[in-house]
Amino acid sequence: MKWSIHQLQRYRQGDMPFDEMVNLESVKKRNPEIRDIEPVHVTGRCKIGSFKIDCTFKLEGTMTLPCARTWEDVQFPFTIESTETFSWDEDDFLDDDEIHRVEGDYIELNPVLEQLILLEIPLQVYSEQAEDVEKIEGKGWSYATDEAYEAELEESKPKVDPRLASLADFFEKTDE
């Protein structure tokens, strides 16, 4: 999304609504964990001043992330609401770090929208099948539930020969 400052000036009397589908495939280059992202539905309103613009955004979309256990694709829907300020007045930058600097005659929204999406990525996502997995292995790694791990430890304990089982109690007996 790209807006011309000159064209935005005609909306100075009131709010400028917008409703667009935006392709943000470039966010995958910024975070390789994002395997895919569908076009994002961006809606909102902007209030235009003489040297700045205040925009309220609502982003809705779905991105594909890897499952933390099985590494399978997981569809992660997101809804983000944010208010951002853009300014082309040099004095505004001295007072506030929350203002996005506009250089040139165009407001470029895609980097801001990408940043909002990057901040929304959770640390871990799990697929529905991940709950059913008892044990899974890959090259150099493995995952097991606590129950499966304890059962594996129980199986790996050395078995006592039944003919020698009575000798196991020999040293535990005390003579009185």
Query: Which residues touch 14 (CB under 8 Å, ≥6 apart)?
Result: none
What are 127-156's pLDDT values in tens digits? 776 666 556 666 776 667 677 777 777 777
68 Cβ partners below 8 Å, 6+ apart?
A: 124, 125, 126, 130
pLDDT digit string, tens, across residues 72-124 = 888 999 999 999 888 877 665 555 567 777 777 888 888 889 999 999 998 88
CB atoms under 10 Å from CB of 38, counted, come to 15
Give the pTM: 0.68
Average pLDDT, the chain: 80
Q: Does 18 score more than 70 pLDDT?
A: yes
